[in-house]
Chain A
Amino acid sequence: MILDSLFTVLEKNALITAFAFVGILVWFSYEISARLTRGHVHGSAIAIALGLVLAYVGGSVTGGNQGLADFSLFAGVGVMGGAMFRDFAIVATAFGAELEALKRAGLVGAASVVIGVVLSFMVGAVIAVAFGYTDAVSISTIGAGAATYIVGPVTGTALGADSGIIALSVAAGLTKSVLVMIGTPFIAPRIGLNNPHAALIYGGLMGTTSGVAGGLAATDPKLVPYGAMTATFYTGVGCLLAPSVLFLLVRALV
Chain B
Amino acid sequence: MVIYGVALLSFCMLAGVFVGDLLGDLIGVQANVGGVGIAMLLLIVLSNLSHTRFTLGEPTEKGIGFWSAMYIPIVVAMAAKQNVIAAISSGWMAIVAGVAAVAVSFAMIPVLSRFGKGEQHDS
Q: Which residues of A contact B (CB under 8 A)?
A: 18-19, 22-23, 25-26, 44, 47-52, 54-56, 58-60, 65-69, 74, 77-78, 80-82, 85-97, 99, 102, 104-105, 107-108, 111-112, 115-116, 119-120, 123-124, 126-128, 131, 142, 145-147, 150-151, 154, 157-158, 167-181, 183, 187, 191-193, 197-198, 201-202, 205-206, 209-210, 213-214, 217, 221, 224-225, 228-233, 235-240
A107 proximity list for chain B (CB < 8 A): 116
Closest to B47 in A: A95
Q: A26-B73, A167-B90 are in contact. Are A178 and B108 (CB under 8 A)?
A: no
Contact with A along B37-79 (1 / 0, CB 8 A): 1011101110110000000000001001111101111111111
Q: Total interface residues on B, using CB and 8 Å? A: 78
Judged by DSSP, the binding face of B is helix
Residue ID in chain B nearest A62 by CB atoms: B85
Beyond A108-B112, A236-B29, 12 extra complex contacts between A and B, CB < 8 Å: A51-B82, A55-B82, A80-B77, A81-B81, A91-B12, A92-B70, A96-B68, A172-B93, A179-B99, A187-B106, A191-B107, A228-B37
* Minimum Cβ distance to chain B for residue A44 (Å): 5
Q: Tell me if B3 counts as interface (CB < 8 A to partner A).
A: no
11 A-B contacts (beta carbon < 8 Å): A56-B88, A59-B86, A87-B35, A99-B48, A145-B97, A174-B82, A175-B98, A180-B102, A206-B102, A236-B34, A237-B33
- Give the docked Cα–Cα distance between A55 and B61 (Å): 34
Residues in B lying within 8 Å of A, measured CB to CB: 9-10, 12-13, 16-17, 20, 23-24, 27, 29-37, 39-41, 43-45, 47-48, 61, 64-68, 70-88, 90-102, 104-110, 112-113, 115-117, 120
Within the complex, the shortest CB–CB distance from A141 to chain B, in Å, comes to 11
